[in-house]
A and B are shown apart, each in its own frame.
Chain A
Amino acid sequence: MSSSPPAVTKKAKAATNAAGPVVIRVPEHTVEIVSDSGEGAQKCGQIFGQVSAKMGNGAWTVEIIPAEIQPPARSGAGASGNRIRIGTKPVTNWGDASNLVVAFNEQALVARHELEALHDDAIVLVENMWATHEDEDIRREWAAAMEVLATRRYRIVGVPMEEQCLTVTDNPRRGKNMFVLGLLAWIYDRDVELVREAIQQSFRKKAEAVARSNIQLMELGYQWAEQHLDFRIEVPIEKPTTPMIVMNGNQALAMGAVAAGMDLCAMYPITPATSVSHYLGDIFEDFGGIVHQAEDEIAAAGVAIGASYAGKVAFTVTSGPGLALKTEFIGLATMSEVPLVVLDVQRGGPSTGLPTKVEQSDLLAALYGQPGDAPKVILAPATIEECFHMVITARRIAELLRCVVMVLTDANLATGVQPFPRPQLDPRWQAAPLDLRPVPEGVKPYDWDPESGLSRRLIPGQPGGMHTLTGLSHDEDSKVAYSPDVHERGCAMRSRKLAVLQSTLKPPVVYGDDEGDLLVVGWGSTLGAIHEAVDAARAKGLRVSALHLRVLSPFEPGLKDIFARFRKVATVEINYSDRLGDPYITVENRRLGQLAWLLRAHTLVDVDCWTRVPGQPLRPKGILEGIESMMPGGHA
């Protein structure tokens, strides 16, 4: 092979593949790319997902992340990569199993096999240099792996990735991912120009030669596939009728913050929230904003509160352990009624837990983390698109209600990529410029409307409005409380605001029939997987519907009425609950999923739950099994 292959064109392709490969036409396909950590499978998968979405396929990507930065090479635990599910229609979740897997070594492949991540008849493209490696141990490991994999109907194709890459680069370890990207681009007939652009974009901060050699590697992969593979996969494209954009959830949060007119993000590095600030760090200054990397999580909250107090609403972004540290400051913002937006990208817990992996277990901590009564608003986006819009909503609510608004996303939304309709930006989404006109005589710092508890906040710089905010219990004048009714009244006023917000909300809409045997209630990133599972259950004749909650404090109205139309209500969540049947576990001591607890308290309905904490998104198939196991008495 020449060291500088000609550019790939449609014409050249047609010429070299006279017989033509078999084209497998499917409405959707799920691809996985797995490698050792550091070999770049993630970058390859991200670009493939992005390009697929840009071409008009529905797409959902999920990162497969080892917790360590450099786990040992060729170890199952170090398997790192990306799953991309693409479809003709919009894709809402990562699905059950992969139809095509590209593996940089057989150990990463076996790890995925053991996790049941591969479809029974999956196509597997695997680097075959290990089969003939000079190290006997490696050859033995390869052989053993092939035996394990032979237990399924996988179609295994060896690909000489390293050998091929060596023809254009000295360091194939850094180049295989682009070679593989080329393979996939041919297999799925991706627009090569878009792939080139994405590679350019991805390496824009490096020397030009880096992008050039990566593009060369991609083209090499493309040509190799063209000359050696006898199949292609076609997932037909239905061009969307409205303009779409594609990004991950953390980028959507960051852009939402910009669209909301916020201009200070105070943060401290923590996985998986940090990439919000990476992205903002790149663009925020162009919008007049700054990312302040504080000395710790506590200070990040304090700086955001100080900035909010001094003008427009600021925000802080964190994950579980950071949320714990911010607890006292969130209480202060609540008590002093300084608006604050807290974005919590949830990961597995408690403690350091599963830093890179998904869980929905911060709900109760978010709601009840503060000692004392600390009412606050909690929003939970269910899609990437909602990540964008809910930050805008959060800013508005925080300002109108002078309260803390927390937005709970998770590691699945954070790194997942999904196309969504391009928002039509509205200037009213942004905070108004500061109004420093003098405060009329008689206006108090907490001029609570006696019915709603709402009050206008006074901002430093406004003549006549001087007062001292305090975290101590206080009256309308912000004077420290020394009598019992002052504290009662303050608590009532702060709490009332949530009821006011609830009065403006509509009841959530049931997915499926309005009545039935089982209502599955979810929140956050599980939306797509739950709907897919419910569809499957209904196809089997089960009378199941789903309800997805976006506002978790205060709850949307009408839940009790909705629940009353179902024989049974159960939540599906990615957090821990005891399972009946396990040793010692009884209905009396069983600990439930976090939303289940809240719904029981809120509605007095005997809400059941099916929860799992696998450190990865729930699969529709798993949820379907959960639904079947929970169907009330004999209806299955």
Chain B
Amino acid sequence: MIDTSCSFVSCGYDDDDRSWTMEDYGGAVPRWCPGCGDHAILAAVERLLEAQQLPPERTVFVSGIGCSSRFPHYLTTYGFHGIHGRALPIATGVKLRRPDLHVFAVMGDGDCCSIGAGHWIHAVRYNVDMVALMLDNGIYGLTKNQTSPTTPQGYASNTQPKGSHLVPLNPLSATLGVSNASFVAQTADWMPAHVYATVAAAFRHRGFSFVRILQRCPQYTDDLFQEAVRNPNLVELLVHPDGVDAPELEKIFKNRRVHDPKDIDMARHLSEPTDRIRLGIFFRDESRQRYEDLRRQRVRTAQERIDRLNEEFEKYAV
């Protein structure tokens, strides 16, 4: 478990003696609005932590700024509530230095796709092993109702009261367009079993797992997904033996499409807008290069460094 690229004085307990319940992972009482989709996502993540029995001290949640970025406060793991749009560089630094840690980055749509868009594109390319959850409610909620990059065209907000001027950015096709993308999935907060199964698949994947989670904001975009919530026929599940496995959904969601996550061309095709909301794993490729593997170095002791630096000094000796 402990990677040799770090040197430790001590590694804490022997994990085998301990076990954790969902409650053990809980933190402060969430201050999200009642009915906010973030509650369900938090529950799915807690379920994952419990199912995987991740030692809380070896689990790190990094977030940006926004409603969704309160996430780490509501867990008892290590957390870093950073600045707007910049969860991914911090998470990258953590994982580069400490490959032994389980790293999650939690972002909103404004966070990831607007102010932090540059980091998002490059994080996909670095393909550092972490789970990136993008909680997409199509609006800036914390700052009270401003248009985000994923707000549908025509949808009114405080900053664009006559309706959003632009066609929305498509986070799935954008991610799938970046070279070295290795895991791209979409799920929706109103289907907890699907959220859990998707996040679990993302966790199992070794690489940068990008999960867009469609998330209802009862305050500002209550109607955004309302039709799909009421009518399961508007949802299409991407299914495959290598895809998301949630048998309990079979009875409700009749629209099922077999999609092999290896097929990137089909993934790109399926990521384009239609009248249905597609959920599942669009693309997965474990063979993509991971930056932390490319950059891994053997740790040197203080004395080794001194000896080596003394050799280096020789080249500069007077």
Interface residues, chain A, with chain B CB atoms under 8 Å away:
53-56, 201, 240, 243-247, 251, 255, 258-259, 261, 263-264, 266, 283, 285-290, 292, 294-296, 298-312, 314, 328-329, 331-332, 336, 419, 422-423, 425, 427, 430, 432-438, 460-472, 479-480
Q: Mark B89-123, 1 if CB is under 8 A from A, else 0.
A: 11111111110110000000000000000110110
The answer to whether B318 and A283 touch across the interface, beta carbons within 8 angstroms, is no
Contacts of A246 in B (CB 8 A): 316, 318
User: Closest Cβ of chain B: how far from A289's Cβ, in Å?
Assistant: 7
With A427-B306, A434-B7, A438-B13 already in contact, the answer to whether A461 and B57 are too (CB < 8 A) is yes
Among B86, B89, B306, B318, find the residue whose CB has the most chain A CB atoms closer than 10 A. Answer: B318
User: Closest Cβ of chain A: how far from B178's Cβ, in Å?
Assistant: 12
With A425-B306, A430-B302 already in contact, the answer to whether A295 and B118 are too (CB < 8 A) is yes
Which residue from B62, B89, B94, B310 sits with its C-beta under 8 Å from A299?
B89
Which residue from B94, B297, B303, B316 sits with its C-beta under 8 Å from A288?
B297
The answer to whether B80 and A469 touch across the interface, beta carbons within 8 angstroms, is yes
The answer to whether B318 and A244 touch across the interface, beta carbons within 8 angstroms, is yes
Which residue from A201, A258, A435, A460 sits with its C-beta under 8 Å from B309?
A258
The answer to whether B28 and A479 touch across the interface, beta carbons within 8 angstroms, is yes
The answer to whether B82 and A332 touch across the interface, beta carbons within 8 angstroms, is yes
Q: Mark B6-18, 1 if CB is under 8 A from A, else 0.
A: 1111111100000
The answer to whether A245 and B94 touch across the interface, beta carbons within 8 angstroms, is no
The answer to whether A434 and B6 touch across the interface, beta carbons within 8 angstroms, is yes
The answer to whether B317 and A307 touch across the interface, beta carbons within 8 angstroms, is no
User: Closest Cβ of chain A: how far from B306's Cβ, in Å?
Assistant: 5
Q: Cβ of B230 < 8 Å from any Cβ of A?
A: no
Contacts of B92 in A (CB 8 A): 299, 302-303, 306
Contacts of A472 in B (CB 8 A): 81
The answer to whether B89 and A306 touch across the interface, beta carbons within 8 angstroms, is yes
Q: Mark B22-33, 1 if CB is under 8 A from A, else 0.
A: 000001100000
With A288-B299, A306-B91 already in contact, the answer to whether A433 and B8 are too (CB < 8 A) is yes
Q: Cβ of B315 < 8 Å from any Cβ of A?
A: yes
The answer to whether A436 and B8 touch across the interface, beta carbons within 8 angstroms, is yes
The answer to whether B305 and A329 touch across the interface, beta carbons within 8 angstroms, is no
The answer to whether A287 and B300 touch across the interface, beta carbons within 8 angstroms, is yes
Q: Cβ of B138 < 8 Å from any Cβ of A?
A: no
Bound complex: CA A289 to CA B296 (Å): 9
Contacts of B315 in A (CB 8 A): 201
Chain B stretch 69-99: residues in CB contact (< 8 A) with chain A: 72-73, 75-83, 86, 88-98
Q: Cβ of B295 < 8 Å from any Cβ of A?
A: yes
Closest to A431 in B: B302
Closest to A52 in B: B318
Q: How many A-B residue pairs have CB under 8 A?
A: 216
Contacts of A419 in B (CB 8 A): 318
With A287-B300, A302-B89, A427-B302 already in contact, the answer to whether A311 and B12 are too (CB < 8 A) is no
User: Closest Cβ of chain B: how far from A327's Cβ, in Å?
Assistant: 11
Which residue from A54, A283, A299, A471 sits with its C-beta under 8 Å from B119?
A299
The answer to whether B118 and A296 touch across the interface, beta carbons within 8 angstroms, is yes
Identify the 6 closest CB pairs spanning chains A and B, nearest first: A306-B93, A302-B89, A468-B79, A244-B318, A295-B122, A306-B90
Contacts of B90 in A (CB 8 A): 302-303, 305-306, 309
Closest to B93 in A: A306
Among A283, A294, A331, A466, find the residue whose CB has the most chain B CB atoms closer than 10 A. Answer: A466
Which residue from B55, B57, B79 sits with its C-beta under 8 Å from A469?
B79
The answer to whether B317 and A54 touch across the interface, beta carbons within 8 angstroms, is yes
The answer to whether A460 and B72 touch across the interface, beta carbons within 8 angstroms, is no
Bound complex: CA A202 to CA B91 (Å): 39
The answer to whether A283 and B312 touch across the interface, beta carbons within 8 angstroms, is yes
Contacts of B309 in A (CB 8 A): 255, 258-259, 287, 425
Q: Cβ of B56 < 8 Å from any Cβ of A?
A: yes
Which residue from A434, A464, A480 sits with its C-beta under 8 Å from B9?
A434
Which residue from A283, A302, A438, A461 sits with its C-beta under 8 Å from B58?
A461
User: Closest Cβ of chain A: how far from B54's Cβ, in Å?
Assistant: 12
The answer to whether A466 and B96 touch across the interface, beta carbons within 8 angstroms, is no
The answer to whether B302 and A261 touch across the interface, beta carbons within 8 angstroms, is yes
With A283-B312, A461-B12 already in contact, the answer to whether A466 and B76 are too (CB < 8 A) is yes
With A292-B295, A328-B83, A433-B8 already in contact, the answer to whether A460 and B60 are too (CB < 8 A) is yes
Contacts of B299 in A (CB 8 A): 288
Q: Cβ of B298 < 8 Å from any Cβ of A?
A: yes
Bound complex: CA A296 to CA B118 (Å): 8
Contacts of B8 in A (CB 8 A): 433-436, 461
Q: Cβ of B308 < 8 Å from any Cβ of A?
A: yes
Closest to B302 in A: A427
Contacts of B313 in A (CB 8 A): 245, 255, 422-423
Contacts of B308 in A (CB 8 A): 286-287
The answer to whether A304 and B302 touch across the interface, beta carbons within 8 angstroms, is no
Bound complex: CA A307 to CA B8 (Å): 15
The answer to whether B96 and A292 touch across the interface, beta carbons within 8 angstroms, is yes
With A299-B122, A305-B93, A332-B82 already in contact, the answer to whether A433 and B317 are too (CB < 8 A) is no
User: Closest Cβ of chain B: how far from A483's Cβ, in Å?
Assistant: 16
User: Closest Cβ of chain B: how far from A374's Cβ, in Å?
Assistant: 13
With A289-B297, A425-B310 already in contact, the answer to whether A462 and B12 are too (CB < 8 A) is yes
Bound complex: CA A558 to CA B93 (Å): 40
The answer to whether B11 and A461 touch across the interface, beta carbons within 8 angstroms, is yes
The answer to whether A438 and B12 touch across the interface, beta carbons within 8 angstroms, is yes
User: Closest Cβ of chain B: how far from A510's Cβ, in Å?
Assistant: 30
Which residue from A295, A303, A469 sits with its C-beta under 8 Å from B93?
A303
The answer to whether B9 and A258 touch across the interface, beta carbons within 8 angstroms, is no
